[in-house]
Structures are given as structure tokens and as C-alpha cells.
């Protein structure tokens, strides 16, 4: 048990150190090439067809002076850590073999999704900072996420033989071929929750806690490689958070949120019946801030379409709290606390059999 814990904790610390070292280099180039939005604000969207003047008044100034693409630190540190572990294992063998967490059974797919999501998000960010009209349209981003999720769902179904989802106290519920569209739906919902990236330190802290929670679940299920992957992502996120605490040096943006949300979806499914446990059913609890983000955005749209009035001053609800006068740091730290409590509760349910 202690030995396996070291196999998880060492990559976590390594990713943090690598991320800290990588951040100044990323910062230098992001500021050198002025990698920030040329026009601040959200314009139309966020459940408000008339635009978002209140949001724009709160955030537009920082958006045209703070670089995007800070997510490079997260997926960059994660990939460097994974590659370093592989190289050390091949070159020196011995104890280094046990630190190599990249394998077909548990981590190839989440690493693949992380890379693809990062590259698509990076393309969107590059277009965002070079063209005033914005990056990839939402339609194309959703399509790309759905395609990636569809491939991942098919891989689980056809290659790994997974067609069911674990439910607390009830065991595995078979879905048959409908497992694939369910996989796509969960991934799209997580991606929608990625809009929580909007306040300094908010998304970085929340995603770090969520991935640490799944590292704990995977470790308890003896999925040590998956636990090491999730812990590595968390370590990279803590390095990002070091530089994203107010005032943020850079934002996570699409290259970070798309990579993290698709990787999180696969991690949750991997910690499900593959580990003889429950990983997906507890996802709405463990990722409670993302769940609330999606729910309040949907309610805002319903309010506008059906009742012709907004339910929240701004959606998602974390911006509503800002509009009520909460300082950004208060919103962020209270969300961190809620995520920790939700994560502990989620672990408790996941480990009950």
C-alpha cells in the first residue's frame, strides 16, 4: 500500500515542480506575443441574447490585458511528467519502472483525450487572440468534443468490453450500445461546465480538487496507474494555480478547459466498472461546481425563453455572486471549500458497496 502510494504521489510532486518551472517560459511568450483577447467581454451568450453588459463591466478590462492559453502549463507539465517517467523506466529500469504510469489498460485513452482536447482548444485560443471575431464557433467545438467522446465511448464498449455504469448500492446497470451516447452526453455536460473558468483561481482550484478526488477513488480500487495520471494532472493544476491566484498571470482558457473536461470524463468512466466501482454516478457530486454551472446556465436560458426574464443577474451563478457585490476572491475560496466537501462526500459514496 505504501509503495503504491509513492507511485501516485511522486508523479504528483514532479508535475507540480515541472509546471512551476514551465510557467515562466510560457508567461514570457504569452506576454511577448500579446496573447489576450483584442475585444473584451462576452458579447452575446451566457443565456442572454441581448448581450452581457454587466459581465463586460466586471471583466472586459482584464480580458484585454491578461494572456489566455495558460492551460499549456497544465497539459504541458502532465505530458512532460508522463514522458519523463517512461524515459527513466526505459533507460534505468529498477524502481523507475514502477513510476511509469502510461499503459494501455488505464491511461492511454485519458492521455490521448487530454492531448486532442488541448490541441483543439489551443487552435480556438489562437484564433481568439488573433481575430477580433473570436475563435472556433461553439457548434464546431461541441462537434469536436462529441466526436472525441464518441470515439472514447466506442473504445470502452468495443475494446474494453464496458457497456454498463456502476450505481451506488445497486451495482452495475447495463446500457448495451446506448453506453456510447451516454458517454457523449456526460462528456458534453462536463465541457459545458468548463465555462466556470472566469474568475482568477476558480477553475484551477476546482479542477485540481476534482482530479485529486478521482485519484483517491482510483487508488482505493487498486487502479494505481489511473490514480497516478489523475494525481499528475492535479499537480500540474496546482502549479498553474500558483500563477493564477489573483491577480492572474494568465487564464486557463479553452486549451485548458477542453483538455481537462474530456480527460475528466474518461477518468470518471475508467474509475467505474473497469475498477469494479462507482465513478460516473458520483461525478455530479464530485464536480458539483461544474454541475451547478451547467444547471444555472440552462435555467437562465429557460428564464429568458419562457418567462421573458433573467433568473440570475449573470449566469453562470458564480458571476451572479460577483454582481451581488462579492469580491472575486470570496467567490473563488468558497467554491474551493464546497468542492472539497463535495469531493469527500463523493469518495464516501463511491467506496460504499
DSSP class of residue 40 equals: -
- Of the candidates 76, 184, 64, the residue with the CA atom closest to the CA atom of residue 121: 76
Residue 243: pLDDT band with limits 50, 70, 90: very high
Long-range contacts of 348-353 (CB under 8 A, 24+ apart): 349/168, 349/278, 349/281, 349/282, 349/285, 350/168, 350/217, 350/220, 350/271, 350/277, 350/278, 350/279, 350/282, 351/217, 351/220, 351/277, 352/168, 352/169, 353/277
Nearest to 253 by CA among 79, 123, 149: 123
Q: Give the tens place of pLDDT for each residue, 190-210.
A: 999 998 988 999 999 999 999
Whether 269 and 155 have beta carbons less than 8 Å apart is answered as no
Query: pLDDT at position 143, please?
Result: 97
Cα of 81 vs its chain's centroid, Å:
18
pLDDT surpassing 90 at residue 180? yes
Number of domains composing the chain:
1
Question: Does the pLDDT of residue 1 top 50, yes or no?
Answer: yes
Indicate if the pLDDT at residue 308 is higher than 60.
yes
pLDDT digits (tens, 9 = 90+) for 111-128: 999 999 999 999 999 999
Asked whether the predicted pLDDT for residue 46 surpasses 50, the reply is no
Q: Is the peptide bond before 163 cis (omega within 30 degrees of 0)?
A: no
Contact 264, 256 (CB under 8 A): no
- Residue 51: asked if its preceding bond is cis (omega within 30°), the reply is no
Q: Report the C-alpha gap between 191 and 82 in whole angstroms.
A: 24
Residue 44's pLDDT band (boundaries 50, 70, 90)? very low
Q: Could you list the residue range(s) of the whole structural domain that residue 77 is in?
A: 2-350
∠ CA 216-222-226, rounded to 5°: 65
Amino acid at each position: 500500500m505504501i509503495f503504491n502510494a509513492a507511485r501516485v504521489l511522486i508523479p504528483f510532486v514532479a508535475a507540480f515542480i515541472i509546471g512551476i518551472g514551465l510557467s515562466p517560459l510560457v508567461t514570457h511568450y504569452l506576454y511577448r506575443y500579446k496573447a489576450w483577447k483584442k475585444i473584451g467581454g462576452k458579447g452575446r451568450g451566457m443565456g442572454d441574447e441581448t448581450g452581457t453588459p454587466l459581465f463586460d463591466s466586471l471583466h472586459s478590462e482584464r480580458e484585454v490585458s491578461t494572456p489566455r492559453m495558460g492551460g499549456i502549463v497544465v497539459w504541458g507539465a502532465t505530458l512532460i511528467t508522463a514522458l519523463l517517467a517512461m524515459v527513466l523506466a526505459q533507460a534505468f529500469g529498477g524502481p523507475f519502472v514502477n513510476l511509469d504510469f502510461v499503459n494501455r489498460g488505464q491511461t492511454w485513452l485519458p492521455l490521448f483525450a487530454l492531448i486532442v482536447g488541448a490541441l483543439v482548444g489551443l487552435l480556438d485560443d489562437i484564433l481568439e487572440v488573433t481575430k477580433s471575431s473570436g475563435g472556433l464557433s461553439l457548434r464546431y467545438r461541441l462537434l469536436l468534443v462529441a466526436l472525441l467522446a464518441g470515439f472514447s465511448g466506442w473504445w470502452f464498449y468495443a475494446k474494453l468490453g464496458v457497456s454498463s455504469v456502476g450505481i451506488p448500492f445497486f451495482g452495475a446497470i447495463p446500457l448495451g450500445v446506448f453506453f456510447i451516447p451516454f458517454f457523449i452526453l456526460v462528456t458534453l455536460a462536463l465541457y459545458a461546465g468548463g465555462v466556470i473558468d472566469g474568475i482568477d483561481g476558480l477553475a484551477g482550484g476546482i479542477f485540481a480538487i476534482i482530479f485529486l478526488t478521482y485519484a483517491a477513488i482510483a487508488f482505493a480500487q487498486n487502479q494505481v496507474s489511473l490514480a497516478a495520471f489523475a494525481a499528475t494532472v492535479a499537480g500540474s493544476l496546482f502549479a498553474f494555480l500558483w500563477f493564477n491566484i489573483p491577480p492572474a498571470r494568465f487564464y486557463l482558457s479553452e486549451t485548458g478547459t477542453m483538455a481537462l473536461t474530456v480527460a475528466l470524463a474518461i477518468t470518471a468512466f475508467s474509475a467505474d466498472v473497469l475498477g469494479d466501482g462507482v465513478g460516473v454516478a458520483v461525478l455530479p457530486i464530485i464536480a458539483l461546481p461544474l454541475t451547478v454551472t451547467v444547471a444555472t446556465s440552462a435555467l437562465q436560458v429557460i428564464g429568458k425563453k419562457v418567462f421573458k426574464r433573467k433568473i440570475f443577474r449573470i449566469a453562470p451563478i458564480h458571476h451572479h455572486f460577483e454582481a451581488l457585490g462579492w469580491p472575486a476572491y470570496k467567490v473563488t475560496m468558497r467554491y474551493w471549500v464546497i468542492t472539497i466537501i463535495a469531493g469527500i462526500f463523493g469518495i464516501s459514496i463511491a467506496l460504499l458497496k
